[in-house]
A = this chain, B = another copy of it.
Amino acid sequence: MDSGTPGELVQLLTPEGERVHHPDYDIDVSAEELQSIYRDLALVRRIDLEATALQRQGELGLWASLLGQEAAQVGSGRALHPDDYAFPTYREHGVAFTRDVDPLQLLALFRGVSNGGWDPNEKNFALYTIVIGNQCLHAVGYAMGMTFDRRRAHADSTDAVIAYFGDGASSQGDVNEAFIFAASFDAPVVFFCQNNQWAISEPLEKQTKIPLYRRAAGFGFPGVRVDGNDVLAVLAVTRKHLADARAGLGPSLIEAFTYRMGAHTTSDDPTRYRLASDLENWKLKDPIERVRAYLWRQGLADQAYFDGVEAEAETLAVRLREGCRSMPDPSPDSMFTGTYAEPYPLVDAERAEFAHYLESFAAPAEGGH
């Protein structure tokens, strides 16, 4: 497999925490911003660890860990403006965090309390999409709508959309059709592929023999590969491509080169299909460690700062544990209320019948549930 030439990878912060520069993508980050980025990364990782633990304790049915992908998600999520819109897969907990979605709502989904959780149009963050690739078309449609709105308002520029998907998803018809529609309509959308090297047990080579970012050229728009474990590079590259989208330059594709450090989900057993040594290599490229090293060595944050973040993470963890454990189950009645926006006789009848049926158990009677 052609894994791309080294120069292809945009990097601004090396795994060792050295700041490097790039001719096309650069960024000025203040100490405060960098601290805030570090905080996001640390909190997001903590959310993920807590969720994994809650799943082990039986509090969640499943969890899809983002371990290792924090920078790709926080970097790209932070590049968004409030009015931009993000379309996630099921693993974008870090992006959710940057969109101000309460992590408890993510837990609610994986606990089986809800199939959604937040109001998408309040957060400008679509619901998690589990069917691989579907959301990329929604993203393009949404972006087309932004263009129509802009033209109606005779405005110069517009907001933008970001569509998340995985390396495995790049093989789905929907994702490729999304590329086609986006190109055809010059939609202001950034396709953000987190290439974490695996689609469950299948390595990247099953999906493609050339670097994924090059797919874009075949559809007539730019593609770029960024070090997905480098939050600064991800931030810079995403900002730039969002800006291009806003300016009417149409879609582009960002491939964030990263690694899924955990199992696919808590149901998965990666020892069946991959080598521990790969993981060891990627550990050296940890997305958080390098920011910490940089902050520390440049004197941009002191121990008190790191301790503060740690304490905040602890508080958050407690809130998540308690919030998760005390989360009430939805009422059976709620099954019936969401299906249609307008009255639908059969559902109304089933609802009434089922309420009646449940009551028959509540009544003091022989037999029972």
Residues of A within 8 A of B (CB): 2, 171-174, 176-177, 180, 183-184, 205-210, 214-220
Q: Establish whether residues A207 and B180, one from each chain, have CB atoms under 8 Å apart when the complex forms.
A: yes
Cross-interface CB contact of A184 among B183, B184, B209, B219, cutoff 8 Å: B209
Complex partner residue of A216 from B183, B205, B218, CB under 8 angstroms: B218
B183, B208, B217: the one within 8 Å of A183 (CB):
B208
Q: Give 6 CB contacts A-B under 8 Å.
A: A171-B180, A173-B174, A184-B206, A184-B207, A217-B217, A218-B219
What residue in chain B is nearest A178 (Cβ atoms)? B173
With A184-B206, A208-B219 known, 7 other A-B pairs at CB within 8 A are A171-B177, A176-B176, A180-B207, A208-B220, A209-B220, A214-B217, A214-B218
Hey, which chain B residues are within 8 Å of A217, CB to CB?
214, 217-218
The 8 Å CB contact of A220, one of B171, B177, B210, B219, is B210
Q: How far is the CB of A319 from chain B (nearest CB, A)?
A: 43
Write the chain B residue with the least CB distance to A202. B184
CA distance A207 to B176 in the complex (A): 12
A174 to B180, CA, bound (A): 13
Chain B hits for A214, CB < 8 A: 217-218, 220
Q: Which residues of B contact A174 (CB under 8 A)?
A: 173
Residue on B nearest A171 in the bound complex, by CB: B180
Please state if A215 and B208 are interface contacts (CB–CB under 8 Å). no
The residue in chain B whose Cβ has the minimal distance to the Cβ of A220 is B210
Which residues of chain B have C-beta atoms less than 8 A from A2's C-beta? 220
Note all chain B residues with C-beta closer than 8 A to A208: 180, 183-184, 219-220
